Amino acid sequence: MSLSEFWDYLVLGVMLGSLYAVIAIGYTLVYGVLQLINFAHSEVFMMGGYGSLIVLTLIDPGDNPSVAMGVVLVTVALLAGALFGGATAYGLEKVAYRPLRRRGASRLIFLITAIGASFFLYNLAGKLFGRDPKSLPDMYDNKNLFSVLGAEINITEMLQLSAAVVMMIGLDLLVNRTKMGKAIRAVAQDAEVAGLMGVDIDKVISRTFVIGGVLGGVAGFLFANLNQVKFDMGFLPGITAFAAAVVGGIGNVRGAMLGGLLLGITETLTVPLFGEEWRYVAGFVVLILVLMFRPTGILGERLGRAA
Amino acid sequence: MSSVDTSAGLNRTAAAAAKLRHRAWYQQPRYQRLGAMVALGLLLTLVTGEQGSTDDLFGAIEADFTGPTVWVCLAITVGLWALREFVDEPVRRGWESVRSGVGGPANKVSAQVRKDPRLRWGLIALVLAVAIFLPSGLERYWQTVLVDQIAVYALLAIGLNIVIGWAGLLDLGFFAFFAVGAYSTAYWTGRLPVEPPVELNNFWVIPIAVVTCLLAGLLLGAPTLRLRGDYLAIVTLGFHEIVYLIAKNADGFTNGPSGARLVPDFSIDIGGFSYEWSLDPIPYWYLMLGFIVLLIILFARLEHSRIGRAWTAIREDEVAAAANGVNTVKYKLMAFAIGASTSGIAGVVYTSKVGYINPESFLLLYSILVLSYVIFGGMGSIPGVLIGAAFLVWLPEALRDYVDPQDRYMYLGALLVVMMIYRPQGVWPSRRRQRELKMAEEGMGDADAMSEPAGGKFS
């Protein structure tokens, strides 16, 4: 692997990693407030992809849309992804998890429900929209913008990176600086006491799902823009992003970002070193290694009562 | 007299309080429930509706909502709502009488069976007799389903039952050990690119596969079982993915996507007596029945042994178990490894019967399938998981002419969610497990080796 190749792959890795980071935040937020691995989050991501596909198909931009039109299309598709993702996450919490929570069901029950919901949703999407992959319509001419250390960056990559960075900064501010963020942190630390202090737990949990869902939905759009939309597109990015959340330290928002970047870079660098076919193994090998030496992840667990 | 007055007064107060709340009509619980039922009806239309196609993105949805099914589905769900809201009392009374009519005697019988060992053994003998004599009367197709799927999944389910039902650990990579068993068979019978030091009879492969799976289980479990319970879920999931990708990509050892073919059948050759199992499903059924019965006896002995009690203690309250001197990591590892080796045995038998394997036989999907069979039947109860596996394997086969087979996993997912909300203990629960789940809901104990319940203990 030459140096220029290395830079190419590194840039690709950062791109992919930023996407994983955004998805991982959804996992980590929900884990923070519910101590639940929300396996259905990968379906929130998938629904984000479908949301942007549906809206773009309805608009039907035709060939070669103008630059201004392209900006509008990207914005609309991104918002559609966010809307579908948020709505799916909200519905999931309301229909599947809330009845369990009211009953105080054990965590095993939660996990199995999450798996069942994930199964149901992605197979339903496959049934409704067909099971073959489909690309988003062209929204812009994907030119190279500039190059960093010999690696060309095109519009799609720039869009992906900037959207991910903006979302990560926004979320970090939201969790650490706003009143809602304070409520989320309070519920994560001790739901019972937070409730006694006047925090509306149901509302906070619901909002946490929606925030994670919006991020996941936008990530779904970005992923679909890079690759294609498919009913099972959420599976591999989903479990890799969850692994990223664990690697960074579950419940820890900055940890999820770090873990996402780390796994994205590892995965892309696996391609030139060991071959394309091993790329999806890399994330899990890193996960197992990290857990062996740092059982609570690189930055350590935060938020939840877990210690 | 005075009690009537009081209740009338209370009613009046409640009505006054309700008026004070000033809720619009759509905010009343009754109409919110109607909204939910309408949404359910629309969802039901989509679920039972047409198959979509990628070329026509909205085709399926349009067809669903312009056809008659949408009205049928809405009529069903809104009808249910109306039944519940307006004629609740008679329906509830009718249901109660049905329940006491059927449930009373059923409970009496089950209590009798529990108390009286002779009855219990009689029941077991009856089930065994059916298992021995019924299959030869079935059609060939159902015989094959019975052996290739029901028996294999039953074996897997009783293995996973130890891990999830008794030790309370969530293992999402259970089928990976099945793959390890399958590839061990292919290797030791010389059907992989790598030559084994000596080609073995399939019966000798079983102990080897058991040891291999035990080691793999220990290797995977040792670093992760020390951690929080739910990390195990993600690590086992990852392990399954790794095993699958190795099976698919390590051409030199596993022969890549084409897998192994012409794996020999089981055969016996002991001094003059020789027999070879062949394509006929029936002899294989007896062989597998033998394995299943043997393992059930072994595991039932384990359940009430010191080890089984240690698992119960860990599941109910890990901290208390550790404080009482139970070596939690050791016993969790033990459950994990015993489960893994059962999965390995199933892999050996399946590969010998079917004769070929490729990586697509070991998708992550199958791990989830086994898990759902165990949950559906009732974790922790051997008859429960057997019923779960048999019923859920049989059902899609029986419905294959009416329901698109591509949709079966969608229904399975919905079934899991509904089951967890309304009957988390499964159709035939173990009494202990049922009680634990209930106690966990009341805030006592855990019912799984995953520490505290999700969302804290608030309501």
* Residue of chain B whose alpha carbon sits nearest to that of A232: B365
Looking at residue A208, its pLDDT comes to 92
- The pLDDT value recorded for residue B162 is 92
Predicted local distance difference test score (pLDDT) of residue B10: 67
CA distances from A163 to A168, B113, B185 (A): 9, 64, 50
pLDDT, tens only, B259-298: 777 777 777 777 777 777 777 788 888 888 999 999 999 9
Higher pLDDT, A42 or B100: A42
Q: According to the per-residue pLDDT averaged within each range, which of B26-30, B278-282, B320-324 is highest?
A: B320-324
Whether the per-residue pLDDT at B125 is higher than 80: the answer is: yes
Q: What ipTM score was computed for the predicted complex, to two decimals?
A: 0.86
DSSP assignment of A191-216 equals HHHHHHTT--HHHHHHHHHHHHHHHH
Query: What would the pLDDT profile of A124-165 be if each residue is shown by its tens digit?
Result: 999 888 888 888 888 887 777 777 777 778 888 888 889 999
Return phi, psi of residue A203, to 5°. -65, -45
Chain B: give the shortest CA distance to residue A222, in Å: 20
Asked if A54's CB is within 8 angstroms of B238's CB, the reply is no
CB contact under 8 A, B170 and A121: no
Cβ burial, residue B281 (10 Å; 0-12/13-18/19+): buried
Distance, in Å, from the CA atom of A268 to the CA atom of A258, rounded to the nearest integer, reads 16
Q: For residue B241, what pLDDT band results from cuts at 50, 70 and 90? A: confident
Is residue B168 over pLDDT 80?
Answer: yes
Written as six digits, the tokens of B234 are 């993600």
φ and ψ of A295, to 5 deg: -60, -20
When comparing pLDDT for B214 and B19, which is higher? B214
The answer to whether residues B266 and B288 touch, using CB atoms and an 8 Å cutoff, is no
In this prediction, residues A87-111 reach a mean pLDDT of: 87
pLDDT score for B453: 47
**Mean pLDDT (whole number) for B120-143:** 83
**Residue A271: which pLDDT band, with cuts at 50, 70 and 90?**
confident
Backbone angles phi and psi of B292, in degrees to 5: -60, -50
Q: Is the pLDDT of residue B115 over 70?
A: yes
B230 with A111: Cβ contact below 8 A: yes
A 276-295 → B contacts, CB under 8 A: 277-278, 280-281, 283-285, 287-288, 291-292, 295
Decide if A274 touches B, using CB distance below 8 A: no
Sign of CA dihedral B339, B341, B347, B348: negative
Indicate if the pLDDT at residue B457 is higher than 70.
Answer: no
A105 and B57 within 8 Å at the Cβ level: the answer is no
Give me the pLDDT at residue A92, please.
Answer: 92
Taking alpha carbons only, the member of A238, A240, A242, A223 closest to residue A49 is A223
Q: Please, what's the largest Cα pairwise distance for chain A? A: 60
Q: pLDDT-derived band of residue B5, with 50, 70 and 90 as boundaries?
A: low
- What is the average pLDDT across B84-92? 79
Question: How many residues are present in chain A?
Answer: 307
Residue B25 has pLDDT above 60, yes or no: yes
Cross-chain CB nearest to A127 (options B407, B419, B452) = B407
Q: What pLDDT shows up at residue B19? A: 65
**Which range has the worst mean pLDDT, A260-269, B42-51, B383-392?**
B42-51
Contacts B367 to A, Cβ<8 Å: none
- Kindly tell me if the per-residue pLDDT of B251 is higher than 50: yes
Give yes or no for a contact between B185 and B348, defined as CB atoms under 8 angstroms apart.
yes
Average pLDDT on B144-158 reads 89
Q: Is A173 on the interface with B (CB under 8 A)?
A: no
Query: Which residue has better confidence, A12 or B227?
Result: A12
SS (H, E, C) A102-124: HHCCCHHHHHHHHHHHHHHHHHH
Determine the average pLDDT of the residues in B21-37.
Answer: 79
Q: Contacts of residue A192 in chain B, CB cutoff 8 Å?
A: 456-458
Asked if residues A60 and A137 have their Cβ atoms less than 8 Å apart, the reply is: yes
Provide the shortest C-alpha distance from residue B279 to chain A (in Å).
35
What number of H helices and E strands is found in chain A? Answer: 12, 2
**Would you kindly state where each structural domain of chain B is located, as residue ranges?**
21-90, 140-441
| Percent of all residues in chain A with a pLDDT value above 90, rounded to a whole number | 33
Among partner residues B164, B421, B440, which is closest to A99 by beta-carbon distance? B421
Q: Which two tokens stand for residue A251?
A: 């419940």
CA distance B51 to B66: 15
Neighbour count for residue A30 (Cβ, 10 Å):
29
Cβ–Cβ < 8 Å for B202, B352: yes
How many Cβ pairs closer than 8 A exist between chain A and B? Answer: 206
CA distance B452 to B137: 51
A239 touches chain B (CB under 8 A): yes
Q: Concatenate the DSSP letters of all residues of B74-129 into one string.
A: HHHHHHHHHHHHHSHHHHHHHHHHHHHHHHHHHHHHHHHHHH-HHHHHHHHHHHHH
Mean pLDDT over each residue of chain B, to the nearest integer: 82
Rounded to whole angstroms, how far apart are CA atoms B254 and A103?
48
Please tell me the distance from the alpha carbon of residue B212 to that of residue B180, in angstroms, as a whole number.
Answer: 8
State yes or no: pLDDT of B456 exceeds 50: no
Show Cβ contacts of residue A22 under 8 Å, excluding neighbours closer than 6 positions.
A164, A167, A168, A215, A216, A218, A219, A222, A260
Question: Cβ separation of A285 and B450 shorter than 8 Å?
Answer: no
pLDDT for residue B151 is more than 50 = yes
Q: What is the pLDDT of residue B338?
A: 92
What is the model's pLDDT at position B447?
67
Number of DSSP helices (H) and strands (E) in chain B, helices first: 20, 2
What DSSP line would sit under A162-197, residue for residue? HHHHHHHHHHHHHHHHSHHHHHHHHHHH-HHHHHHT
> Who's near B88: CB < 8 A, 6+ residues apart?
none
Closest CA to A242 of A57, A97, A43, A79: A43
- Is residue A92 within 8 A of residue A30, CB to CB? The reply is no
Q: What is the pLDDT of residues A224-266, one digit of tens each?
A: 988 889 988 988 899 899 999 989 888 888 889 999 999 999 9
Over residues B136-157, the mean pLDDT reads 86
HSE of B345, CA atoms in CB hemisphere, 13 A: 25
**Residue B449 pLDDT greater than 70, yes or no:** no
Question: With bands split at pLDDT 50, 70 and 90, how would you rate the model's confidence at A88?
Answer: very high
Nearest to A99 by CA among B451, B377, B459: B459
Closest Cβ–Cβ partner in B375, B413, B448 for A119: B413
pLDDT category of residue B22 using cuts at 50, 70 and 90: low
Q: Between chains, do B235 and A287 touch, taking CB under 8 Å as contact?
A: yes
Q: What is the DSSP string of B257-290?
A: GG-B--PPPPEEEETTEEEE--S-HHHHHHHHHH
Token representation of residue B457? 């203990």
Given a cut of 80, is residue B104 above it in pLDDT? no
Residue B8's pLDDT band (cuts 50, 70, 90): low
Residue B455 confidence (pLDDT): 45
Judged by a CB distance cut-off of 8 A, whether residue B237 touches chain A is: yes
The gap between the terminal CA atoms of chain A, to the nearest Å, is: 42
Domain ranges of chain A: 18-234
Average pLDDT of the segment spanning B110-119: 77
Residue A86 has pLDDT above 90, yes or no: yes
Q: How confident is the model at residue A306, as a pLDDT?
A: 38
Chain B residues in contact with A105 by the CB 8 A cut-off are 420, 424, 437, 440-441, 453-454
Higher pLDDT, B322 or B450: B322
Q: Where is pLDDT greater, at A201 or B260?
A: A201
pLDDT number for residue A216: 94
Asked if the C-beta of B229 comes within 8 angstroms of chain A's C-beta atoms, the answer is yes
Tokens (6 digits) for B356? 């070929």
